[in-house]
Amino acid sequence: MKYNFDEVINRRGTYSLKWDGEELIKQAGLTERYDEETIPLFTADMDFPVPQPLVDALHKTVDHRIYGYSVFPEEYYTAIQHWFKKRHNWDIKKDDIIYSPGTVHAVNVAVKAYTDPGDGVIIQRPIYPPFTSAIEGNGRQLINNALFYNEEGYYSIDFKDFEEKAKDERTKLFILCNPHNPTGRIFTKEELNKLATICADNGVLIIADEIHGDLIRCDQTFIPIVNTTENPDHIITLTAINKTFNVAGLHCTNVIISNPDLKKTYSEALGFHLPSPFTIAALIAVYHEGEDWLEQLKEYLDETIQYVIQFISERMPKVKVTRPEGTYVMWLDFTGYGITPEEVHDRIYNKANVLLEDGKLFGEEGLDYQRICISSPRPIIKEALERIAKEFEDLK
Ligand SMILES: Cc1ncc(COP(=O)(O)O)c(C=O)c1O
């Protein structure tokens, strides 16, 4: 089946955080202006319809008319095993899969399960903001191994700093984000092996948030960190269908833990959880029949990213942008305009009426940046970029 990702579907009036979330968005301090004309390109979900087999599977569940307590059928596990073996050459044992109602939820459970108040947790800023709240909100100490970048804006890991911080006896956990949000980096096998080795040598556990692992550029490769080391005993991986298939509202993350002791600790901290029949149906459908849609989506996202890069080089050449290797977010450096982050914010959010995410939310390293989510039909992206460019014309 051929999908049309250019189709603009009105999401207003569907309880969408992006399109109906005015109150929450303002409460969170993301913007002062939010109205019917606002183009929201902030939170990471997509304005695209999902694969047809998923729609069919959900219809079947709806049509049954009873939505009671549900259990995980064997097909739930085999669907996960099938997907990760086929796409990532990863053999996952059924017993190593633990369902979680969300990835941020899983990160919080893991922080509480594996560390004590005051313990150190490493993250690599600029980083997805809920990592920070999972650490600080739970009374743990945030240890920042900031990524550094070269002239072209390409981000890399400061391994010397990472090792020093991992060696500190208070450091107990490292939350890896790969592919990395917001920089779009996909770490290489060598980089991941080095991180895994340093952590193993220093008794530091790794929570690997790999939920963007299927959303990569067509010419890129993603390797799960567990496949980069002989002994992944200290690694807990978070996988999900939410980003890949645009079903964040169905709450389906799977935590993969092969170490029996770590599994026991996590399960006890998580407590008893039953799934929704919609979630089960969705996962089985997408992991067996969603690949065709995903491949088409990836091509569309690649073209949009190319479009954005071209537009920026022609119309806003002072903005520095690199092609993200993975994810559908782009990290725009506004330093070139020589104006304050507040003025950049005012021009984009209040004047152009486009809602992005201020880089400062990702840590102080992001102060001069804006994160844009390009996972919308291209007509929406084009209008948003036109509006923004117009507000910067006087600074050319
Ligand atoms: C790296 C990363 N982890 C977790 C999440 C949120 O996942 P969930 O909705 O399953 O909590 C996001 C959403 O943008 C993300 O980018």
Are both 347 and 284 inside the same structural domain?
A: no
> Structure pTM?
0.97
Hey, which bits of the chain come out as E strands? 39-40, 97-100, 120-123, 141-144, 148-149, 155-156, 171-177, 205-209, 235-240, 253-257, 329-333, 354-355, 357-358, 369-373
DSSP character at residue 362: G
CA-wise closest residue to 209 among 220, 222, 198: 222
Å from CA of 314 to ligand 1 middle: 32
- 123 and 21, same domain (yes or no): no
Q: Do 93 and 225 share a structural domain?
A: yes
- Between vectors from CA 129 to CA 283 and to CA 13, what angle results, nearest 5°? 60
Q: How far is CA 264 from CA 102, 110, 258, in A?
A: 19, 12, 10
Residues 62-87, mean pLDDT to the nearest whole number: 97
Nearest CA to ligand 1 atom 7: 103
Same domain, 285 and 299: no
Over residues 182-199, the mean pLDDT reads 98
Tally of structural domains, the chain: 2
CA angle centred on 183, ends 116 and 106, rounded to 5°: 35
**How would residue 273 be classed by pLDDT, with cut points 50, 70 and 90?**
confident
DSSP string covering 216-261: B-TT-----GGGGSS--TTEEEEEESTTTTT-GGG--EEEEE-SHH
pLDDT in tens, 193-245: 999 999 999 999 999 999 999 999 999 999 999 999 999 999 999 999 999 99
Stretch 59-80: mean pLDDT: 97
Element (H or E) spanning 163, and its range?
Answer: helix 159-167
Whether the CB of 199 sits within 6 Å of ligand 1: no
Task: Calculate the CA 261 to chain-centre distance.
Answer: 28
Q: 396 pLDDT exceeds 80? A: no
pLDDT of residue 47: 98
Could you tell me the residue range of the domain that residue 157 belongs to?
67-289
pLDDT tens digits for range 9-32:
999 999 999 999 999 999 999 999
Q: Report the nearest atom of ligand 1 relative to the CA of 131.
A: 3
Query: If DSSP codes are grouped into helix, strand and coil, which group holds residue 191?
Result: helix
Residue at a domain's end among 257, 289, 321: 289
Give the list of residues 6+ apart from residue 335 with CB closer than 8 angstroms, or none.
Answer: 320, 368
Residue 181 has pLDDT above 90, yes or no: yes
Domain boundary among 289, 311, 341: 289
- Burial class, 261, CB count within 10 angstroms (exposed 0-12 / middle 13-18 / buried 19+): exposed
- Return the CATH number at 169: 3.40.640.10
pLDDT reported for residue 333: 97
Which atom of ligand 1 approaches the CA of 45 most closely? 14
CA 51 to CA 292: how far, in whole Å?
8
* pLDDT tens for each residue of 315-342: 999 999 999 999 999 999 999 999 999 9
Q: Which atom of ligand 1 is nearest to the CA of 251?
A: 10
**Residue in the structure block whose two tokens are 């569309």:** 300
pLDDT band at 73 (very low <50, low <70, confident <90, very high): very high
Read off the pLDDT of each residue in 82-108 and give the average, rounded to a whole number: 98
Any idea what the CATH number is for the domain that residue 333 is in?
A: 3.90.1150.10
| 289, 318, 345 - which closes a domain | 289
Q: How far is the CA of 338 from the centre of ligand 1 (A)?
A: 32
The whole-number pLDDT of residue 265 equals 98
Residue of 278, 367, 375 whose CA lies nearest to 11? 375
pLDDT at 1: 87
Of the chain, the percentage scoring pLDDT greater than 90 comes to: 98
DSSP state of 349: I
